[in-house]
Amino acid sequence: MFKEERTESMFDWSMLGDISEGRPNLGPTMNVAVYRLMQFTLRDVLIRDYGVEAAEHILYSAGEEAGRHLYRNVITKKDDLTEFIGELQQVLKDLSIGILRVEAADLKALTFTLTVAEDLDCSGLPICGEEICKYDEGFIQGLLSEHTGRNFLVREIDCWCSGDRVCRFDVKPAA
């Protein structure tokens, strides 16, 4: 049997396929519960088999890769940070990922407090006292890194699952 072993990502946007050809009757949408079924069973197996720290690293890294590819393939306004954020807000809403808001921003220092309401990953889940959106942290890191050429530290500081009604992220440049 052939195993896909590698040390670098091989993902390419074309791997998403031609959805209109492959799903002529069902189309590009699906129920959020199906996405969460995949996400949370994958998260559960990663934690069980590799531990919390490794699972969170894998989810963050996957989110970062996804953010980078979304930026390269979907975002068009790449010259100005304000225009980029405006387009990103619309893209995330159009793709039903969530409603992005900028609560605070220091454009010189590139520090932000971002919120995502109606988050695809966790809005409506039971309160468990945890911030669980590691994939989203990486996703934001990937998007901002692609736009600025710099790495960021993105940490979720509030989550639906910790009792808030939005996911809130603290974003600052990496040291």
From first to last of its 175 residues, the chain has per-residue pLDDT tens of: 677 888 888 899 999 999 999 999 999 999 999 999 999 999 999 999 999 999 999 999 999 999 999 999 999 988 899 999 999 999 999 999 999 999 999 999 999 999 999 999 999 998 887 778 999 999 999 999 999 999 999 999 999 998 889 999 999 999 8
Question: Residue 98 in contact with residue 118, Cβ under 8 Å?
Answer: yes
Longest dimension (CA), the chain: 52
- The DSSP secondary-structure symbol of 9 reads -
For 110, other C-beta atoms within 10 Å of its C-beta total 15
Q: Which residues contact 51 (CB under 8 A, 6 or more apart)?
A: none
Class of domain 13-173: alpha beta
